[in-house]
Amino acid sequence: MRRLHLTLLVLFVAALTAAARAQNPLAPPPTPAQTSVAPSTPLNPALPTVFIVGDSTARNQADLGWGDHFAHYFDTTRINVANRARAGRSSRTFITEGSWDRVLAQIKPGDYVLIQMGHNDGGALDGPKARGSLHGLGDETKDVTLPNGRTETVHTYGWYIRKYIADARSKGATPILLSLTIRNIWKPGPDGRQHIERDMGYDAGLKQLAQQEHVAYVDMATVEADRLEATGPEKTALLFPIDHTHTSSQGAELNAQSVAIALRNAHSPLAAYLKPE
């Protein structure tokens, strides 16, 4: 019975994705088989690599995060694309669980690191699902006791992002801050029309950090929001079959394309590795 339920769920999501392709005028073409380099796949040491550091919006099972749809926008004879995002992680837990150290071990001079964190940073600081960070960009800390009895010093969101930046630079890589992917949340605006949520509270801090740390801020959220708003709430909903945060494979492709567009808009050096439009 459980297997039947899972099969029906898979078929339901597939049907919604197919509907999105048929009805959404902004839907990109189906993705080719080539996707980002899996964590177990060796990187070509002769090429620079762009690493993606994020959460489930960049990797949420196979093909459901934009990072899994990113590679085909690049000339992969000139650059590796390595998606190292992990579902459920925050700026804090991607570090404390060791994922960041594993990425750092692979980074070499000339590489790029796309950093997109925040969707899970509003979670609890302690308890069974301890992953939240303190609000703000300062150096405030709070000691918490985890369920295993270990004490952890929790820092601010800004502290963790600055650590990513400093660590990447220490390896000779170029860190790039990305605004967060858009959630499927709509509210009426002053014009009486429905408008999609464009910021869940982190983008202003990311812009400030980018200025303070002299790193690029790439605003993929505005690109994505403009495209979703143009297609409207009903057709946008087809790209979010599970909840308001996680997309279908088609939605992940749209997000990957939005990141590529935003890199060009920001005149990022990384854009030089993108395929011609």
Token pair of 85, please? 């995002």
State the Cα–Cα distance between residues 211 and 163, nearest whole angstrom. 15
| Active-site residue, from 5, 191, 243, 267 | 243
154 DSSP β-pair partners: 142
Known catalytic membership, residue 56 = yes
| Active-site residue, from 69, 72, 119, 246 | 246
| Active-site residue, from 36, 55, 56, 258 | 56
Residues carrying an active site annotation: 56, 243, 246
